[in-house]
Amino acid sequence: MIYEGVARSPTVLFNEKMLAGLGRGIVTTGKLDPDGVRRAVEEFRRFRALSEQAGAKSLDVLATAAARDAENGPDFIHRAEEILGTRIRVLSGREEAGYSALGVISGFYRADGIVGDLGGGSLELVDVKDQHIGDGITLPLGGLRLQDMAKGSLSEAAAIARKELSRAGWLKEGKGRPFYCVGGTWRNLARLHMMVTDYPLSVMHHYELDIASSAAFLKQVAKGDIDKLEGIGRISKSRRALLPYGAVVLQEIIAAMKPSKLLVSALGVREGFLYSLLSEEDRGVDPLISAAEELALLRSRSVTHAHELAEWSGTFFEALGIEETEDDARYRRAACLLADIGWRAHPEYRGTQSLNIIAHASFIGIDHPGRAFIALANLFRHEGLFANDLSPEMRRLATPHYVERARLLGGLLRVVYLLTASMPGIIPQLKWREDPDGSLTLLVPKSHAALMGERPHGRMAQLAKVAGRELALAVADG
């Protein structure tokens, strides 16, 4: 992975992976798989060349369970260090669990639950709450290792997983809290579930599996009955064989922990390591707002205008008497920051382009309904408030709560952009006045009275229909 820099919401410039299978057979031989070692060493040469070609300023290399536990691990690490030209950090089980936890802390806004990072050789479990890392344990339940220990028997794998998980007595403290799934096997399991259920958004991070409704799916995969599942052909063969073992371990975790839901994290040890390099101040930054600000800086006509809009837009919801949760407010701010990212597109496509960029952007710190809300608010801002034939998938994902708020915010954006010409300076001067008859009037400063006209009045009338309240535009006195 080559990153643009160390940032709160890191941007990936280049990504390539290869599943070497280093831990295959380690249970019986005690050594790294010879073929896996050969393939990995060859790939390291390419990885170093790619890093140099991209102009990477530094190279950080982490090694986990297989290299840590194998008899020939030190020799492998030495060879790899010579090829890569840098020291390799061989993580202890505690360090691996800690970085996995930091990966989830960095990717979820105020994470609160149990993190499980399932690799080829081990499973790291650790309790997280906001910025705090609690109890943790490393168990020999990685997919390749479990497959070897169970000698290919899925029922035996379940028994082994149950016995090993009993060592994590604190796991029951996660009852009623989310379980965060980290690692390639669980991500591919989630990807398969997306295809089986015809999920409308192909974004892995923060994908949610309901415990009850996903039980039958997990049971089928845990039996190894996957060949006829919809979309199985899109899972690589190297990953496919480990899916049943990932499902077995997940079933046993659900039984022991009784979580409220399963949340998939696209961020793990690697991103946790990057997060550890940030200052304490940068760690506290909201990753969603940080990413939205960066996109606004790159694509908006005026990033200052975007910031003004984000700060001011809450006054409209306050005037309407609409309460916002912390996430509601965060998502509204992000939607405002992103409201102008489609302006360079052809007018016929600004709405759909903005929706597609937002829906599929690598945002973190946001769930899928919130992502759909931001996308829809920007669709309505460009396409109109009654574009019901567009993106039914996003409306279904957003839930009625966010669809209604997206219309309100989109309608507000349609009014404000006509009054500002997308440039800063006016928004902070706009004020809401509640009139004696209960109607609301948006007051434009007298110095800018010439901005009033048919189109802004027409847009305000449309917004009034959505809000179900009398709304008007007027010039302020004085």
**CA pair distance 138, 141, nearest whole angstrom:** 9
Longest dimension (CA), the chain: 86
User: Which of 446, 64, 30, 51 is closest to 273 using CA atoms?
Assistant: 64
**What's the token pair of residue 17?**
């992976």
- How confident is the prediction for the chain on average, in pLDDT? 94
* Residue 65 predicted with pLDDT over 90: no
**CA pair distance 70, 270, nearest whole angstrom:** 21
165-197 tens-digit pLDDT: 999 999 999 999 999 999 999 999 999 999 999
What is the pLDDT at residue 235?
A: 86
Pick the CATH number of 93-272 from 3.30.420.150, 3.50.70.10, 3.40.50.720, 3.40.640.10: 3.30.420.150
Structural contact between residues 182 and 117, judged by C-beta atoms closer than 8 angstroms: yes
Pick the CATH number of 2-90 from 2.40.40.20, 3.30.420.40, 3.40.50.20, 3.40.50.10320: 3.30.420.40
Question: Which residues pair with residue 440 across a beta bridge?
Answer: 434, 471
**CA pair distance 107, 338, nearest whole angstrom:** 20
Identity at 301, one-letter amino acid code: R
422-446 tens-digit pLDDT: 999 999 999 999 999 989 999 999 9
Pairing status of strand 261-264 against strand 440-444: unpaired
Pairing status of strand 261-264 against strand 431-434: unpaired
376-433 tens-digit pLDDT: 999 999 999 887 777 889 999 999 999 999 999 999 999 999 999 999 999 999 999 9
What is the pLDDT at residue 239?
A: 84
Answer yes or no: pTM beyond 0.85. Answer: yes
- Domain range annotation of the chain: 2-90, 93-272, 287-475
* Residue 136 predicted with pLDDT over 80: yes
Residue 298 burial class via C-beta count within 10 angstroms: exposed 0-12, middle 13-18, buried 19 and up = exposed
227-241 tens-digit pLDDT: 888 889 888 887 898
What is the pLDDT at residue 121?
A: 87
Pairing status of strand 88-90 against strand 61-63: parallel
The sign of the dihedral angle between the CA atoms of 142, 148, 153, 157 is: negative
What is the pLDDT at residue 189?
A: 95
User: Which of 174, 166, 254 is closest to 209 using CA atoms?
Assistant: 254
Pairing status of strand 123-129 against strand 112-118: antiparallel
Structural contact between residues 117 and 104, judged by C-beta atoms closer than 8 angstroms: no
**Equal fold, 2-90 vs 93-272:** yes
Pick the CATH number of 287-475 from 1.20.1300.10, 1.10.3210.10, 3.90.950.10, 3.30.420.40: 1.10.3210.10
| Dihedral angle of Cα 259, 180, 239, 27, to the nearest 10 degrees | -80
